Structure 1
Amino acid sequence: MHSRRTFVSMSALACLVAAAPAAYAETGFTTRFVDIVAADGVALKAMVMEPRTPGPHPVAVLISAWGGGCTQNVMPARDLAARGYVVIAYGARGFGESGGEVDTAGPKDIADVSTVLDWTTGNTAADPARIGVAGVSYGAGIGVIAAAFDPRIRSVVSLSGWFDLVHSLYGNQTRRGLVALILYTSGWGHGRLSAETDWMLRTYFDPTPDPVDREVINEWARVRSPSRYFDRLNDNRPALLIGHTWSETVFPPDQMVELYERYDGIKRIDLIPGEHASAESGGLLGLPSETWDTVLRWFDATVAGTDTSILAERPVVLRARPGTHDPEPHPDWRSAEGEPRRYFLGPGQDDGVIGDAPRPGWRVEIDADRDTIATGGVPLATYSFEALSGEPPRTWLPGIDRAHGAVWTSPELPDGLRVRGSVSAHLTVIPPGQTGTIVAYLYDVDSTGTGRLINYLPLSWTDAVPGEAMPVDLRFSPTAYDVPADNALALVIDTKDPLFLDWNTGGGRVALTSPDTDPSFVDVPVRRGEESAR
């Protein structure tokens, strides 16, 4: 109950914030709070901003993120209302001032979007032919799935959303435990989880889950994945804007690139440095926000039809790491990607080396179930700091315990590298047990041995033959990263990271090898003709 009283207080405060500026009152919109009753009787609390001028007006529906209420999107709502939109900002069921229990983007949440549209077209001066839906994170996923079911949605904006929830939960057979724990605790702290959602999240943490339970979780996640309804989405063809960050710890960007690549309608994708929702947070607080400016322009073009200039721009827009670079516009994803450049992993005097020629026949062993100082970071913190500072997380590579982690380093790269796309690696693992996990980290290393993290990736197995060689392929999420001239690349592999629930049991030693007939390598996508880093 304490949580609910807090959100009611926030509503009252937000109402004052929304109504206070005289300029907004004079330019012409009203603000009110209403209950929109869903089909099962649950009341969804909504903040309605409506132009004073005669309609019909274009419509913008803003769906709250995980844990948020109807006032979470008050700042972008004001901006849209000031541009002549009827704005309905509502809290998803189970959160904030809305009733019911959290359905985690399930069928009830999707039906709620249509209920909100029904109420809007029946109770405001809305134009039913001009409707857009937007959300951050949780609201993004709900909005994209709803656009597959309700053809009235002519434009949908996904900011820090997801395409395949199974991939998010079990990518490379590895559970993202720390992120799931944050979602679970914040879900109870700011809402009312349904019994189903509570069971799914608690079972997800089981160190030795029953295979039947895991399949139940997978099916639960499939129902909540836009990928399941992709054909319907493609048939409805809403204009699709995707905003995402390179270093997402909740929903890695590879799935959103897949959505963009497969989708046939009008579309745009913006990928920038940062963490989950870091690009959107400033705009939610009323600060200048390039991300929300893009949303406004997208709705003006694809909902209101007042300014279509954004549709003439190249639709794939990248900003490279580290730091904040100028946007790189491209006509399609293929044009944005670099050409793979193969580097081979080989033996060295101390650590391994990354070189241009195959050097198979080596073997390195590391302790299983032992961590090193190499880490993917802290969810919602590490890469949010990068978004503010421009600096990726750093690790001093000489400090990595070589008994627990293997290191390969390239010579200095005189021209640097402009990495664009998905780095991949191939090597052979000899596991000590039937189950296990490795975690790979790719670094940009300066002359002091300090590595800045380019990317990281876990990989787990649950049915290996102990002691038998097992070829593995690692494909990192796409990124845009400029390695400075005279720095080097380094690949680090260990077996634990606090971000993940690993499958290591019983200790032992993991062998990493490169057979004569199957050399190990790293493929780095490099922009051809543009190798020099800025």
Structure 2
Amino acid sequence: MMRFRRRGRAGAAAVLLVLAASVLPGAASATTEGFTTKFVDVSADGGISLGAMVMEPASPGPHPVAVLVAAWGGGRTQNVIPARDLADRGYVVISYGARGFGESGGSVEVAGTDDIADVSTVIDWTLAHTAADPARIGVGGVSYGAGIGLIAAGFDPRIKAVASLSGWADLVASLTQNDTRHGLAGLVLYLSGKANGTLSPETDTMLTTFLEPAISDADSQAVIDWARPRSPIGYLDRINANHPAVLAIQTWSETVFQPGQMVDFYERLTGPKRAEFVPGDHAATESGGLLGLPSDTWNSVYRWFDAHVAGTDTSIENEPPLVTRARPGMQPPEYQSGWADVVGTPSRLYLGRGKGIDGTLQPEPAAWDSSIAANRDTVANGGVPLATYSLEALSGAPPTAFLWQVDRGSGAVWNQPPAESATEIRGALRAHLSVVPPAETGTLVAYVYDVDPAGTGSLVNYLPYSWKHATPGSNQPVDLDFSPTAYTLAAEHHLALVVDSKDPLFLDCNTGAGKLGLTSSIADPSWLEVPVRRPAENGENQ
């Protein structure tokens, strides 16, 4: 386990006073805006400085403190709008870019020991140089800043509240699911890190190793060993011991940090907590607020800090702590007391052969054998990282595919009969398949679609699965636990399961051509399990 050093107070920092209202809202006049704004360099371990922006109320202190850690690639002004809004509410706000990014020195360690200790250094500086209240401190951030803030709450008991927006709980699970690497997301992370910061040698090596077309078991384990101590879930006992109030806001279609890991993290927190799950992709729901647009997400952050840092407004504590917005469309929020109130009752649909080229999703098990071409893609896909589902957050429309265009030689399709009424899917879909691999290593990708009467499929969920040591020609069980979701299937629509063997999102384990067998028997049937919430199970909603 990593060990973090507590920092002593930093020495005097060089201060550059910037009064530029056109660039920094609220910086022009303490008289009209109620706070002053300045740029500072905070001395940190390793002889580096962290570039920070400080907004301090003009009224006498002590004031509650909000530390905002920038997202991947961001600097001290990335959070200028939330900083202004919090300063308007009476907070001393210090916003900074993590080392290696923005105006900060050093190199990017991906939530390494120095990154976590830097949070304490910034708090030390703030207490020494502003009218800050040491008993009222909150830390928040988007994405990279969210993960750093969560881990820091386990190492600095002065942190009374954390706001994690599009953060991660388990970096290992974020990089790899079912032995399948999230290659395209990793490539975006690596290229943006190289373009906007200075990666440490270790970070550069781990990310380039992760992106190798073929990766050995030893190299794969090295990446896992690097990622594990950078995961908040590994410090859950320390976080619970410090008892910070944790707000986590996550998107259902998160490409980088899937929502299931945050559900598990949230459920295991023992202190004050609140979680919100909304449509969209990574950082989509909070980006509008960063640009100055109205934002329910940032309003929740402000209310959370007011309740658990400033102590000025505790109204958010009177609401049920778990909030969900269902897909598709802009559906109203639902409030539940716990995750058990969100999920529906599992309903199992068995995969049948069907009368045509497609199979059926049916109530009874069936025996059949089929096959698809291995190492070939179809029009079914998981979308473009950070783009496809961000568009959904704006438009309300999930990514679509015309299922009649799926090459039946490269993908298998099973359809359910049309639903007579709307169906509320709540929780994690599961599937069990039996496959016959053509090679020792290989990959399949499963997709669940909401299909309208015209045959257009809206993507509900997807999941890859790889095997590395299979016996070619022998049955291989494949068990899939999809990320949880909240999705309402309209009347006259139906679900479809599509299976192929390739997707641009993933670095697959396919090694060549051949046929991937798909089988089902009465003794070991293949199935799709859908968590369906009945009207009687919706009593907690408001």
The interval holding the TM-score normalised by the smaller chain is over 0.9
1:115 matched to 2:121? The reply is: yes
1:516 matched to 2:490? The reply is: no
1:63 matched to 2:89? The reply is: no
2:24 aligned counterpart, secondary structure: helix
Q: What does 1:273-288 correspond to in 2, within 5 Å?
A: 273-288=279-294
Letter in 2 for 1:282: G
Indicate conservation of the 8 Å contact 2:26/2:36, yes or no: no
Q: CA deviation at 1:207?
A: 1.9
Q: What does 1:474-489 correspond to in 2, within 5 Å?
A: 474-489=480-495
Out of 361, 364, 368, the residue aligned to residue 357 of structure 1 is: 364
- Which position in structure 2 is the counterpart of 1:268? 274
Letter in 2 for 1:223: P
1:438/1:507 Cα in 2 relative to 1: closer, same or farther (>3 Å)? same
- Which position in structure 2 is the counterpart of 1:3? none
Out of 151, 168, 175, the residue aligned to residue 174 of structure 2 is: 168
2:425 aligned counterpart, secondary structure: strand
1:199/1:21 Cα in 2 relative to 1: closer, same or farther (>3 Å)? closer
CA distance in 2, matches of 1:531, 1:118: 48
Q: CA deviation at 1:213?
A: 1.9
1:371/1:84 Cα in 2 relative to 1: closer, same or farther (>3 Å)? same
CA distance in 2, matches of 1:154, 1:217: 32
CA distance in 2, matches of 1:12, 1:275: 35
Letter in 2 for 1:435: T
- Which position in structure 2 is the counterpart of 1:7? none
1:358 aligned counterpart, secondary structure: coil
- Which position in structure 1 is the counterpart of 2:78? 72
Q: Which runs of 5+ in 2 are unaligned?
A: 1-16
Indicate conservation of the 8 Å contact 2:18/2:27, yes or no: no
1:292-335 per-position Cα deviation (integer Å, ceiling 9, x unaligned): 00000000000000000101100110001000111000011101
User: Which one has a larger percent helix, Structure 1 or Structure 2?
Assistant: 1
| Runs of 4+ off more than 6 Å | 11-15, 21-24
Q: What does 1:460-475 correspond to in 2, within 5 Å?
A: 460-475=466-481
Q: Which runs of 5+ in 1 are unaligned?
A: 1-10
Indicate conservation of the 8 Å contact 1:19/1:31, yes or no: no
1:341 matched to 2:356? The reply is: no
Q: CA deviation at 1:65?
A: 0.2
- Which position in structure 2 is the counterpart of 1:81? 87
1:324 matched to 2:330? The reply is: yes
Out of 411, 416, 430, the residue aligned to residue 417 of structure 2 is: 411
Q: CA deviation at 1:25?
A: 4.3
- Which position in structure 1 is the counterpart of 2:209? 203
1:229 matched to 2:228? The reply is: no
1:119-147 per-position Cα deviation (integer Å, ceiling 9, x unaligned): 11111111111000000000000000000
Indicate conservation of the 8 Å contact 1:24/1:82, yes or no: no
- Which position in structure 2 is the counterpart of 1:6? none
CA distance in 2, matches of 1:356, 1:481: 21
1:385 matched to 2:391? The reply is: yes
TM-score normalised over the length of structure 2: 0.94
1:434/1:156 Cα in 2 relative to 1: closer, same or farther (>3 Å)? same
1:495 matched to 2:481? The reply is: no
Out of 132, 135, 138, the residue aligned to residue 129 of structure 1 is: 135
1:427 matched to 2:427? The reply is: no
Indicate conservation of the 8 Å contact 2:69/2:145, yes or no: yes
Letter in 2 for 1:145: I
Letter in 2 for 1:91: G
2:247 aligned counterpart, secondary structure: strand
CA distance in 1, matches of 2:211, 2:65: 41
CA distance in 1, matches of 2:30, 2:385: 37
- Which position in structure 1 is the counterpart of 2:23? 17
Q: CA deviation at 1:210?
A: 2.5
1:447 matched to 2:448? The reply is: no
Q: CA deviation at 1:96?
A: 0.7
CA distance in 2, matches of 1:168, 1:14: 40
% same residue: 61
Out of 167, 178, 183, the residue aligned to residue 177 of structure 1 is: 183
Q: CA deviation at 1:22?
A: 6.7
1:151-185 per-position Cα deviation (integer Å, ceiling 9, x unaligned): 11010010000000000111111100101111111
CA distance in 2, matches of 1:495, 1:531: 37
Q: CA deviation at 1:385?
A: 0.6
CA distance in 1, matches of 2:115, 2:290: 22
- Which position in structure 2 is the counterpart of 1:5? none
CA distance in 1, matches of 2:33, 2:457: 52
Q: CA deviation at 1:23?
A: 8.0
Q: CA deviation at 1:17?
A: 2.8
2:122 aligned counterpart, secondary structure: helix
Indicate conservation of the 8 Å contact 1:370/1:496, yes or no: yes
Indicate conservation of the 8 Å contact 2:172/2:224, yes or no: yes
Letter in 2 for 1:356: P
Q: CA deviation at 1:18?
A: 2.3
1:401-429 per-position Cα deviation (integer Å, ceiling 9, x unaligned): 00000000011110131000000011111
1:298 matched to 2:288? The reply is: no
CA distance in 2, matches of 1:26, 1:449: 58
Q: CA deviation at 1:517?
A: 0.7
Out of 17, 34, 38, the residue aligned to residue 28 of structure 1 is: 34
| CA RMSD of superposed structures (Å) | 1.5
TM-score normalised over the length of structure 1: 0.95
Letter in 1 for 2:363: D
